[in-house]
Amino acid sequence: MRIDRADRRDVAGLALLKWQDVPDELTAGRSFDEFTAELAAWWSLHEDTHSAFVARADDGEPVGVAWVAMLPRVPRPGAAHRVSADVQSVFVLPEHRGRGTGRALVAAACAHAVSLGAGRVTVHSSEEAVTLYRGLGFADSPRLLQFLPPTDT
């Protein structure tokens, strides 16, 4: 297995991984080709802020992905170029889990964010992945809060 920074040639593979990462009811009646085009268009609009890292099997096929979003922060005196990062949409095919693939993907995404000057990297984790993130140095923060807008029921 190897980890690469994804590029445009990887869009179909990244789309397939995302397609497999969601419940069947979200893909039912939808076209995979349309989703691939949507992902490609979205990435074109966000290529300055979002990078994807792909895990490849020995045959080169994508088996996992992690995205990292860079968020510019408001300057302050003495720090004109502040940035934070958020790890997003980490997914490894079930048959490739338990081999360190997710850990390697997240580590690559974090290293990329830090190389671009991120002062912090956050993640919204599933319950199952909390241990993985803690093992990579992520910690709970009493000051990082979230606001969830009310939903219509």
Q: What angle do CA 132, 3, 83 make, to 5 degrees?
A: 70
Is it the case that residue 75 has pLDDT exceeding 80? yes
Q: Among all chains, which residue has been given the structure tokens 């004109």?
A: 80
| pTM of the model as a whole | 0.92
Q: What is the pLDDT of residues 101-152, one digit of tens each?
A: 999 999 999 999 999 999 999 999 999 999 999 999 999 998 888 898 998 7
C-alpha to C-alpha distance for 103 and 106, rounded to whole angstroms: 5
Could you report the per-residue pLDDT of 9-57, keeping only the tens digit for each?
Answer: 999 999 999 999 999 999 999 999 999 999 999 999 999 999 999 999 9
Find all residues with CB under 8 Å of 137, minimum gap 6, and list them.
none
Q: What is the pLDDT of residue 43?
A: 97
Neighbours of 21 (CB within 10 A): 14
The DSSP secondary-structure symbol of 100 reads S
